[in-house]
Each structure stands twice: as C-alpha cells, then as structure tokens.
Structure 1
Amino acid sequence: MFSHTYQDGKLSVFFNQMKILEHTSEHPVLMLQRNQATIDMYRGNYFIEENVEETLGLRLCTINEAYVEGRGVCILHFSSEMYHITCELSEQDGRLIIRFSPLPQPYNRLVLHIWAEEKEHIWGCGEQFSYFDLRGRNYPLWTQEQGVGRNKHTLITQLADKNDRAGGDYHTTFYPQATFVSSRGYFLHANTDGYADFDFSHEHYHRLFFWEVPSSLVLSVKPSLLEVVQDISSLLGRQPLLPNWVYDGIILGVQGGTKVLLDKLALMEAVGTPVIGIWIQDWQGEKYTSFGKRLRWNWQWDKQLYPELDHVIEMLKQRGIGILGYINPYVLKDYSLFEEAAGKGYLGKDSQGKPYLVDFGEFDAGVVDFTNPEAVRWYKKVIQRELIDLGLRGWMADFGEYLPHDITLYNGRSALLEHNPWPGYWAQVNKQAIVESGKGDELLFFMRSGSAQSLASCPMMWAGDQNVDWSEDDGLPSALCAALSLAMSGAGLHHSDIGGYTTLYGMKRSKELLLRWCEFAVFTPMMRTHEGNRPQENWQFDSDEETRRFFAAMTNLHVQLKPYLQEAVRENAEQGIPVMRPLFLYYPKDPFFTIKDSYLLGRDLLVAPVMEEGVTSRNLTLPPERWVHLFTNESFQGGSCRVNAPLGMPPVFFREDSAFASLFRSINTGTEPLP
C-alpha cells in the first residue's frame, strides 16, 4: 500500500514502506520544460538534440485523498504562479499506479524525479550492450541502429562516424524499453510511446524525462529481485515455449544457393554435427553494396539462386532439418511487392502523399504501414504465402527500428509516437501470421528490434549486428551484456550470431573468436551462425577440419543439455524467470550486482565464457555453494578462484546439489582442449 508524510514543506511518498518520491522546494518532484527538438535520421542512425527554452519547477499545493471506483486515490496538486498539474497515486493489482494530468501549454516536456540511494544499482532499459549496471549514466530511449563500435573513443566508431554517420554510442540500441529495476527491490515501467531519457547519474534521484505525458507509470515492490523481474513479464507479457526442434542441434547460416546449402550441410554432418536448421537469409535473392552482401527485399523465392528449394525443403524435413529464411517490414522499390503495396495504399507516405522511400544504403524501400489494418492483413498473407507455404521452419524478422519520424501514417498519429512501438507492431504481425496459419507450435521467428509490446509477441530475441571482434561495447562481450539487460527488462529468451556480423575497417573474424563465440552459444537457448556482411573475409564454421570438429563437439554438448534447457524455458514461459540469469537474482549482494561477464543458465549452471583474445584462464567469483566444473569434474567452494580455460573447455560449473546433477555428470563434453 502507499502512504505519505508531509512536514515543513517536505513531502515523502512510500509504497510498501519504500520511499519513492521526495519533494522539497529546493528539489521538486515535478518539472516542466518547453523545448525544441531537432531530429535527423540517416540509415537508421538518429541524431536528436534538445534545445531547452524554459524549465519550470513546481511547488506542492494540496494533497487530496479520495475513494474512486472502489480504490483509494491520493492526488497531489503542483503549481506555479500560472500553471497547474496533478499527480494521481493509486494501487492496482499490488502495484503503484502514477498518472498525470495533461501538460499545460506551452510546456511540452515532463520531468519526474524518483528518490534514489547513493549506492543503488540499476538495470534494464531494454537491451543495453555496453553497461549492465546503468547507475551513473543517462539512457535516451529511442529505437535505432545500435551503431558500429558504440564507443566514441575507439577508432572503429570514429571511422564509422566519419565515413557513414554510423558509429553509435554506449546507449544506442535496437530495443529500448522504459523499464528499470532497482537494487532496492522494485521496478518502474513507463507506459509511454514517445522519446524518453532515463538519467541515473544523480546521487539522490533518478531523472525521468518524457516528450509526452505517460498514460501511467507502474511501480512494483517485491521481497526479492527475482520476484521483481517475474512481475515485469506478468505485467507486459511472457514469451512462449520454444518449438521442440530448437534444442536438437545448430542452425547453420548459409548463403549462395542450393548447391552451397547442401554441400555445407554434408560437410558438417560428416564430422557428426547435429544440424536442425539451415538459415538462408538470401532465399529471396542477393543485392551487393559497398557495405557488402545485402538482400533483395522482395519477399519471394529466388528460383535462380535456389533452384528446387521446395523439393530440398521437403527432403530435409524428412531428416528433421528445417530451412529458415528472412523478412523485414520494408519492400524494395521497383519490385513487385512494392508496386502492389503502393497501388493498394499500404505504404507510409511522404509530405507529397507519395510512398515514403527510406534509404537503406544504396537502395530505397517503402514502409508497410502497420497502422492500416488492411496493410497488416496483406503483409500477413505475404508471410503465409511466400514463407510458410514454401515450407520454411522459421525466419529472421529483421529491422523494425527505422520508422522515419516525419512519415505520414494511415491512423493520422504522429510518427514521433509510433516510432518506438513500431518493433512491437512488427512482432505482432509475425506472431499473428504464424498463429493464423495453424502452425504456432512448429515455427519460430527471431528479432533484433523491440519495445514493451514485444514481450507478448516475440518468441526469441537476437543481439543484432555485433562487430567480429572482442570489443566490450560492440563485440563478443556485448552480446552477453545484451542478454542480461533484456533479462532484467522481462525478456528471457535471447541468442546472438555466432561469430558476430559486422566486418568493416579492417576487422576480420578470427578462428579464435569464432570458436570462443561458439562456446558461449552452447550455453544459450539457441545456437545459430552467421557468415557476416563480408563472408569471404571471415573465418567460417567450415573453414578447416579442426573448426568443423569443434562445432560438432560443442553442438553435441548443447543437445545433451536439452532436458535442462527445456526446463529453463518452461520457467520463463510460466513464471517469467529468464533463461540467462544475472547472478544476483539468487545471490543479491556485492560483488554480484555488477558482474556482467558470467551468468546462470537456468538455476544450476554457472557460465563464465572467455571473451578476451589470447586468454586461456580467467578469474571469477563463485556464489557461496559447492560447484562442480562441467568439463573437469573438479569441485569448488564458493569464492574467488582462477581456472584454466583452454579452447574447448570454457569455465562452466553446476551446483553440486542440483536436481540435474546426474544429467550434468553424464554429459560427454566431446572435445579435447585445443592448443
């Protein structure tokens, strides 16, 4: 329940005995701003600047308590000489609900201060790649390209900025979400579609900045951080169980045609690799740009590149192997689907009433308008006819974060308010297409972009386009940080491209990086490779015999974990407990609050992947239990330790008293350490 105290001009608001708000004349809870924003978008990279013209702090005038519609309500009245705004507090389903009256003109920004403790830790805000603990920094929440490098101090980012305005920063992300979790034991979620900025850099408060007044803020206090995370997905939605086939092997990313597909499959099966899928993102054709190999965004089978694909799909299906494809919410100009959509009025419009053309890097595409119900029905039919009826087992549902801020949409709503929810709409289109096909238990799609609406619609996230390197902000380590931050935002199913994707400015995927990424992928819900944007410059899963055998051994290990992984996924679907779990969900104390280089897979496996080049051992801190090394059977007591970690033997431990201990002890790790 909520309560408040007011004495000597100081207001304190509590929920379940936890202080949430503190207002004084020197530090007001609410502020209004009158701002002008400039927005520039270049190929999915957004440049937003705020010019603050006026800031108004509000004083507390009166506090009214009432009983409205069967519930207690407390209304705080704030004002200045000329302007007035109210803040309504109530309780619903055991959570605190905060609502505001509309902003008085001419103000167009709302600033709210949430009370904070100096040593508080903060996590969440969707998918964050650079920092797991968000304390000490601000996070603009606007879906966009994650950017290359994502660190303004690195040469890679500087080159990307200079050459293509594509460098990114520590906060740029495909999947922002206006939700954060505090180590004090609560989460706060803002129901807002507009741009927001959550600033956790202040010592005694968190500054929440909004372009629009949220329809509500939802705050939930729980006895444990695990229960806090569970309550996020209870509020926003939970990912379903995965299709049973997902656990039975690896999905190989292959491009180049039917013969290449079959040849690479045979090569990997010859060394005993369990393959459950071939992901051919170029099933609808190729398009080359200066960036590298791209795809022809006209979502129809390219029969020249993939002759007899329909027969191959059926033949492989009999062997338990599926073919997966690719689609996104745009259609390529001058091709048949674009012409059909434009003719029917299903594309977003520019200021002249013509189809809005988005520059995706040396080619243009139209935006299917998901605010138009007829356009949604049409695109679902495209998915059903071109992908599902062809026999694809699943697909990458790419992009979603490019919606231009100045596009005109069918529903008449400002694109500034449709931009952030757009990935959620895209997830809903894919989910509904599958459900309406009657194959909901068989098919799987995965996405990189997301919003709060995605939790109930997208069954699997992937980390997007990492660099093919070891960098903390945009390489292998960032994929783990992304999974953990999404876990703290309510999304419990996540994986990454094995080996990364982006190959630019001299970056080339090394053999060591690919093998270490493969080790990491074993201990995630799904294993899938990617050739990258310049395949010929990267080490691939079939580049030599040793690599092929390494992948075979690691994939077999993943398959042996199937009963355990299924249980972890069931817990996520039914209880909202993420599959990849921060250590502090079960061990809520230092130093676990800030650890982002190890995690729990399910309840009983502690995974400490090697994510540095040339490293063959690593330091780690084990929680206060008895742990057994999965590869050596050596027993460890909780605390600091240093373990050997040659290639093929990553530091992975199971709890000695785990219900799955017999399974873990019976696993054949299947590989000798590589020199």
Structure 2
Amino acid sequence: MAVSERSTPEVALRWERDGDQILLVSGEFLLLRLGPGAAAVGRGNPSIEMYRGNFAIDDSPEMMPLGHAWRTADGVMLATREGESPLLSIAIDAGGGNAGRLKVRTLSSGLDRIVLRFAGLAGQDFYGGGEQMSYLRLNGRRFPIWTSEPGVGRDKSDPYTQAMDASGLAGGDYWTTNYPQPTLIGSAGVALHLDAACYSVIDATGDGAAFEIWQGEAAIEVHRAPTLAGLVDQLSTRFGRQPPLPDWAIGGAIVGLKDGLNSFERLDRMVDAGVAVSGLWCEDWAGIRETSFGRRLFWDWQKNDSRYPDLPARIAELHSRGIRFLAYANPYLCVDGPLFAEAAAGGHLALQRDSDSPYAVDFGEFDAGVVDFTRDESAAWFAERVIGKEMLDIGIDGWMADFGEYLPTDVRLASGEDPMTAHNRWPVLWAEVNARAVASRGRTGDALFFMRAGFSGVQAHCSLLWAGDQSVDFSRHDGINTVITAALSSGLVGNAYSHSDCGGYTSLGHKTRTEELLHRWYELSAFSPVFRTHEGNRPDDNLQVDSNPDLLAGFARWSRVHRHLAPYVRTLCDEAQATGLPAQRPLFLHAPGDRETAGIQDQYLYGRDLMVAPVVEENAVERRVYVPGGELWRDLWSGSMVEAGWHDVPAPLGRPPLFVRDGSAHAELFAAIPDILR
C-alpha cells in the first residue's frame, strides 16, 4: 500500500471535445466542461472594512457569463456568445512540474473577476480550504479565502456572536479563519490549488466546485494520486515539508503562565505535584498591558526587567533541570515602546498611503506599527535585532509567533505591492522571518515557534500550528471541538503538527472555564503532538490548571500520558518527513472505501495505530463513536475487540474513548496508559 500511496502519476492535461462543448481532462478525470455556467468574468466593486483584524468584505461585481468557447493554438478562448470578442483565455502550462497547471487570464481592460466552475468533479467529497474550524467536509458551502481573526462565537444564529458583531465585527462566521488556503481536495484523488494570494472563494455549492478569483490573471494547479494519502504526500511536497518537532516539545506539557516571577514558583509546585514538564511559556516576558478585553502584552519584544528580573539566569537554571523557556512575539510594535522608534528611524515600518508616516493599527486600546517584511532589510532587522538578539541570545527556546492576519488593505508597502494581494501572503512572510532567525543561530529543529496565521507556503517555514483563540466552552463553532477540525483540515494541506490552547483562550461576557472543560481539554491535548496550557485573556476570572488539587492532579496524570507517548510521536514525525502524513488524521485517510467516514470530524486517527474520540460535549458521560472497516480495533479500556460501525461508548471523565489497531507494534506502549492514569 505504501508504494501505491506515494506513487505520483503524471498529471497530463488535455483538451477534448464533446459535441459543441470543450472539455479539460486529466487521465480519467473530467475537470472542466466549457459550456453555459462554467465560467464568467467581471469588474469588481469591493467594499472592505477592517476593525482589529476582523473584516467585512463585500462586492457587487458586474459579471458576464461566458457561454461560447473555441480552441486556438494557445488554448481556449471564451466569449459571452458566438461572434463576440474573447474575454477569457485558458491555457495549459507545460511548466507545471509534477502538477498540471492552467493559466487563466482576462482579455479586456478592467476585468478583475474570474469564476471557473469545475463541474466535472461533481459527486465527490471536498476538503481543504486551509485550517477550517467548523466544517471538515466543504460540500454545500462557500469558503472565502482571506486570513483574519476567526471571530468570537462564529455562529450567526447565536446571540453571543451577534453581540460580538455589534461590538466591532468580532463575531465571525463558519468560514472565518486565521489560516485559509485556496486548495480544494476531492475524494477521488484530485486536488486543485489556486496559485494566487488575492482574495478568492472556494464555492462547493452546486455541481462540482468553483474558484472565484479577485484578479485578472491566475494559475490553477491540478494534482492527482491514486489515494487521498498519496495526494497529501504530493501537497506537502508542493508547499514544503516541516522540520520534525524537537524531542523536548513532545515529551510532556508546556506550562503557560503569565504571572511574572510567581510563574517560576507555580511551576515548581506543579513539578512537585507530578506534572511532566517540558517547558515553561511566559508570554508576558516583555511586560503586560491591562485592557478592557483582558490582560494583554506590552508589544515591545525585549525582556521586561521589572516583571522578570535576571531572566537569562532563570532560563539557564531551567535548562539545568531539562526545562525549556518559551516567550511570545508578533510582527507589530506598539507605538509607545522603544523598538517602534528604532524601527521607524530605520525605515522598517509600513507607511500610510498618503504620507511618509508609519501606519498604526488599532489593536484594542493601543496602536502598533507594522514591520514591512516586503523590504528585505526590514525582515532581516526583525530576525536579527528582535528575535535573534532579544530572544534567542538570552536562551529562549521557543515562542508563540502570533498574529499575521492584520495587514490593512490601505497601507503603503516598500515593495509597491497592492496590500489586497499582500494581505494573505503576510503570514508566510512572518513565518520566513522567524525561520530565518532560528536558522541564523543554527537551531532549526531545536528552537520552536508556533503560529495561528497561515496561507499557502507557510508549511515550509513553520513547524507547528496552534488553533487560535477558542472560546472557553463547548460551543459548536468556537469551542473545544473546533481544534480537532483545525488539525484535520490543516493536515490535509501539508501541516503535519497542530495543537491548541489547553482550556481555550477567549473569556468574554458570561463565558468562563469549568472544571469539566479543563479535564476534557487535558484528555484531548494528551493526544496532540504538543501539550500546551494557556491562562487565557482573563486569567483572574478563570480556573487554571493549578486552581485546585483535582485540576492539578488531572493535569499531572495527562501530562505523564503525553510524555509516555513521546516514542510513538517520534515515529509520527519520522512518517511526516517521509510521506507528508500529519500526526492527526481523518478516518477516511486510512479507510478510503468506507463512505461513512467522509464527514466525521470529531474523532481522529493519531497516526495509523491509535484512534481517539475526544469528548467535546458538555455533561457527556458517553459518546457516539464510529469504527471504520478494513482494520480490527481493540478498546483500550476493556481490551475487547470492537466491530466496525457506530457504537455508543462509555466516556466518563478521565476515560475518553481510545482504540488500538490490532497488531500495532506500539500496542504495549498504549496498554500502559490506564496504569499511568491511576
């Protein structure tokens, strides 16, 4: 099976004719049928509003359907009707490498909208779209591709989301995400990727699926493989394989505390309580700023000596105990910090459209400048001056590389690039800066940064995703369950490793953590490549992992499970390097003939040998679990074999449904988990 999964068929594209219609075919796959409804062009009339990383984007374009197509020596021309001038050309690009490649281009001045519907893909299940939070299977919905804040609540029918929308566009929707990607994966083994950074839409409604493209020229790649696992292999190669996670990151919990010097004392108490600690993450290392949203950070990326005196010495002491120290940074500099002035003097900041003054973004009760990564000198300055000297050189081993979604659409960039096309690329540029700094110190594969923002190509630079700022609850579109969907969807497009803020992050209004939520998040995090806690935006209002003896004991038990599984996770890292397969996988990747698995997004395969069904509903003491056919599975808790199909499985606190593939070489390792939890 491994050979067939990894085989790469030649993706030859060719034109054929069916009566008066022109077809685009790859092997046995029909992709395009150029007839009525297949293509349109137009002139856009966009309306764009941004408020603190939340965007309201609308368009009222004048669209013209292209109902007539004819062949030429260069490809296919399309017009509104026979006898009219062509308005769109589609050509097969022979320089596509391992992928077939189309070039589409409008042929009249001012046409900056293209719609192309791949009706030949009808009948398939569709996946992709980057990191999606609400839906793994895309069918029947539209997914705008635009990196942004994902929103709080993300359910337009929920009064909580409606309230967030009323207070600054902050509610979000099912498709809003930090990490979109215009890649569409079909269950029959064909993937389409729009090689463009402009605003676009994956439209999976109607027959097949369509790309809506907000520019007059673009390329569309076609990838094929005999299996979906093989397609994931190809896509991970296309976008770049990540370095494997370092041993220290997969061997226990990274404890997130933002409590100044008291963080070290709290960490010691956790170690004494039996917590398996791999790292201490203090995002407040550069200072704090209290706002109405909660405890924010002071966005000037230098150690704050009043909050963390003698920090390099304290980091060295942690290192002597085998514990790493992690911090925080993002690509913006607050206007009241010294690095902002230094950056402005060096010409490192993006400018206002109509003046030479630095552009300042409102981040919620404070403003910050945007370091202009389209200027190589500025990218190099941030990598060396900030990440290199202020962080790596004092012993910091990792950090949350936050944000990346906030590039305004009315900023002036050094490259002269339209910010509408630079916006989606900004997280990739940010990832490049971080990877550049790590490489400059020879620490690739050891120092670890993790990001929530992304776009096509971020995979080559960022080793680890985190799922962003979930609400501290069980809500369908913004709670604990969304981190599973995030890991599975992003894994299909080449991101091998994902994790989340254990306990969630966003606590607004009446929402605060419950003990049940924290215990269930422990269970989920233990079966993620990295187990990291977060105190949230309002730490004083929320339960923490050390708030009471029961929470601390549960954290200790599941952190030890995470450490125990490190040898298995190392094999998953090796497999990701060899095949591109992510650590957390949808069931259908290894059960391709089982149609029932197509829409399952709340349970997953952890590698090939362990199936995890986290409990993500409040007050649940059992959950519905699907066991796919084709393999034999054994219930970890009872030791009994489980038949294929749906089952109602007991799931009390501390015992999430877990299943081991029969014949697994790691069966003995897994069998020790119940003893660790006692």
1:30 aligns with 2:20: no
Q: Deviation at 1:322?
A: 1.0
1:101-141 C-alpha deviation (Å, 9 max, x unpaired) = 35421211111111245542111100111111110000110
Is the 2:55–2:169 Cα contact (8 Å) retained in structure 1? no
Q: How does 1:5-16 map to 2 (within 5 A)?
A: 5-16=16-27
Taking the aligned partners of 1:143 and 1:530, their CA distance within structure 2 comes to 23
Give the aligned partner of residue 501 of structure 1: 505
Pick the aligned partner of 1:593 from 594, 598, 622.
598
Q: Deviation at 1:571?
A: 1.1
1:64-98 C-alpha deviation (Å, 9 max, x unpaired) = 3xxxxxxxxx7112234234432112454442111
Is the 2:243–2:444 Cα contact (8 Å) retained in structure 1? no
Q: Deviation at 1:214?
A: 5.0
1:615 corresponds to which letter in structure 2? A
Q: How does 1:519-538 map to 2 (within 5 A)?
A: 519-538=523-542
Describe the shift of the 1:150–1:548 C-alpha distance in structure 2 as closer, same or farther (beyond 3 A): same
Taking the aligned partners of 1:322 and 1:411, their CA distance within structure 2 comes to 38
Pick the aligned partner of 2:278 from 264, 276, 279.
276
1:20 aligns with 2:31: yes
Q: Deviation at 1:574?
A: 2.4
1:403 corresponds to which letter in structure 2? L
Give the aligned partner of residue 677 of structure 2: 671
Pick the aligned partner of 2:639 from 622, 633, 639.
633
Describe the shift of the 1:253–1:17 C-alpha distance in structure 2 as closer, same or farther (beyond 3 A): same
Deviates further, 524-533 or 618-627: 618-627
Taking the aligned partners of 1:439 and 1:240, their CA distance within structure 2 comes to 11
Pick the aligned partner of 2:288 from 286, 309, 324.
286
- Match of 1:539, SS state, is coil
Taking the aligned partners of 1:595 and 1:668, their CA distance within structure 2 comes to 26
Is the 2:30–2:121 Cα contact (8 Å) retained in structure 1? no
1:653 aligns with 2:659: yes
Taking the aligned partners of 1:666 and 1:533, their CA distance within structure 2 comes to 36
Give the aligned partner of residue 408 of structure 2: 404
Taking the aligned partners of 2:607 and 2:103, their CA distance within structure 1 comes to 37
Taking the aligned partners of 2:393 and 2:522, their CA distance within structure 1 comes to 32
1:497-541 C-alpha deviation (Å, 9 max, x unpaired) = 000000001000101001101100111100000000001111110
Give the aligned partner of residue 569 of structure 1: 573
- Match of 1:251, SS state, is strand
Is the 2:86–2:107 Cα contact (8 Å) retained in structure 1? no
Give the aligned partner of residue 375 of structure 1: 378
- Match of 2:568, SS state, is helix
Pick the aligned partner of 1:61 from 53, 70, 77.
70
Taking the aligned partners of 2:339 and 2:110, their CA distance within structure 1 comes to 44
Deviates further, 80-89 or 339-348: 80-89
Give the aligned partner of residue 71 of structure 1: none
1:411 corresponds to which letter in structure 2? S
Taking the aligned partners of 1:217 and 1:134, their CA distance within structure 2 comes to 19
- Match of 2:414, SS state, is coil
Q: Structure 1 residue runs of 4+, over 6 Å off?
A: none
1:425 aligns with 2:429: yes
Q: Deviation at 1:5?
A: 2.6
1:599 corresponds to which letter in structure 2? Y
Give the aligned partner of residue 343 of structure 2: 341
Taking the aligned partners of 2:308 and 2:168, their CA distance within structure 1 comes to 33
Taking the aligned partners of 2:195 and 2:419, their CA distance within structure 1 comes to 17
Is the 1:484–1:581 Cα contact (8 Å) retained in structure 2? yes
How many residues matched?
Answer: 659
- Match of 2:357, SS state, is coil
Q: Deviation at 1:669?
A: 4.1
Give the aligned partner of residue 239 of structure 1: 242
1:302 corresponds to which letter in structure 2? N
Describe the shift of the 1:262–1:629 C-alpha distance in structure 2 as closer, same or farther (beyond 3 A): same
Describe the shift of the 1:213–1:243 C-alpha distance in structure 2 as closer, same or farther (beyond 3 A): farther
Q: Deviation at 1:288?
A: 0.8
Q: Deviation at 1:205?
A: 3.0
1:252 aligns with 2:219: no
Q: Deviation at 1:665?
A: 2.4
Q: Deviation at 1:2?
A: 2.9
Give the aligned partner of residue 228 of structure 1: 231
| Structure 2: unaligned runs, 5 residues or longer | 1-11
CA RMSD of aligned residues (A): 1.4
Pick the aligned partner of 2:398 from 371, 394, 401.
394
Is the 1:145–1:172 Cα contact (8 Å) retained in structure 2? yes
Q: Deviation at 1:11?
A: 1.8
1:488 aligns with 2:492: yes
Taking the aligned partners of 1:2 and 1:217, their CA distance within structure 2 comes to 12
Describe the shift of the 1:315–1:7 C-alpha distance in structure 2 as closer, same or farther (beyond 3 A): closer
Deviates further, 423-432 or 538-547: 538-547
Is the 1:151–1:168 Cα contact (8 Å) retained in structure 2? yes
1:39 aligns with 2:48: yes
1:593-634 C-alpha deviation (Å, 9 max, x unpaired) = 000011000111000000001101112111122212223323
Give the aligned partner of residue 211 of structure 1: 214
Is the 1:16–1:221 Cα contact (8 Å) retained in structure 2? no
Deviates further, 466-475 or 568-577: 568-577
Taking the aligned partners of 1:37 and 1:612, their CA distance within structure 2 comes to 40
Is the 1:281–1:326 Cα contact (8 Å) retained in structure 2? yes
1:520 corresponds to which letter in structure 2? L
Q: Deviation at 1:344?
A: 1.2
Q: How does 1:149-168 map to 2 (within 5 A)?
A: 149-168=153-172
2:260 corresponds to which letter in structure 1? G
Taking the aligned partners of 2:154 and 2:674, their CA distance within structure 1 comes to 39
Is the 2:101–2:221 Cα contact (8 Å) retained in structure 1? yes
Q: How does 1:438-453 map to 2 (within 5 A)?
A: 438-453=442-457
Taking the aligned partners of 2:122 and 2:416, their CA distance within structure 1 comes to 44
Is the 1:557–1:669 Cα contact (8 Å) retained in structure 2? no
Pick the aligned partner of 1:181 from 155, 180, 185.
185
1:617 corresponds to which letter in structure 2? E
Taking the aligned partners of 2:41 and 2:675, their CA distance within structure 1 comes to 59
Deviates further, 431-440 or 323-332: 431-440
Describe the shift of the 1:103–1:278 C-alpha distance in structure 2 as closer, same or farther (beyond 3 A): farther
Q: Percent identity?
A: 39
Give the aligned partner of residue 305 of structure 1: 307
Taking the aligned partners of 1:230 and 1:48, their CA distance within structure 2 comes to 34
Taking the aligned partners of 1:136 and 1:640, their CA distance within structure 2 comes to 25
1:605 aligns with 2:610: yes
Q: TM-score w.r.t. structure 2 length?
A: 0.95
Is the 1:425–1:453 Cα contact (8 Å) retained in structure 2? no
1:78 corresponds to which letter in structure 2? L
Q: Deviation at 1:53?
A: 2.5
Taking the aligned partners of 2:25 and 2:319, their CA distance within structure 1 comes to 58
Taking the aligned partners of 2:670 and 2:16, their CA distance within structure 1 comes to 54
Taking the aligned partners of 1:103 and 1:571, their CA distance within structure 2 comes to 46
Q: Deviation at 1:347?
A: 0.3
Deviates further, 627-636 or 437-446: 627-636
1:47 corresponds to which letter in structure 2? A
Taking the aligned partners of 2:70 and 2:644, their CA distance within structure 1 comes to 54
1:205 corresponds to which letter in structure 2? G
Q: Deviation at 1:283?
A: 0.2
- Match of 2:545, SS state, is coil
Taking the aligned partners of 1:512 and 1:573, their CA distance within structure 2 comes to 36
- Match of 2:356, SS state, is coil
- Match of 1:282, SS state, is helix
- Match of 1:283, SS state, is helix
Taking the aligned partners of 2:178 and 2:119, their CA distance within structure 1 comes to 29
1:499 corresponds to which letter in structure 2? G
- Match of 2:632, SS state, is strand
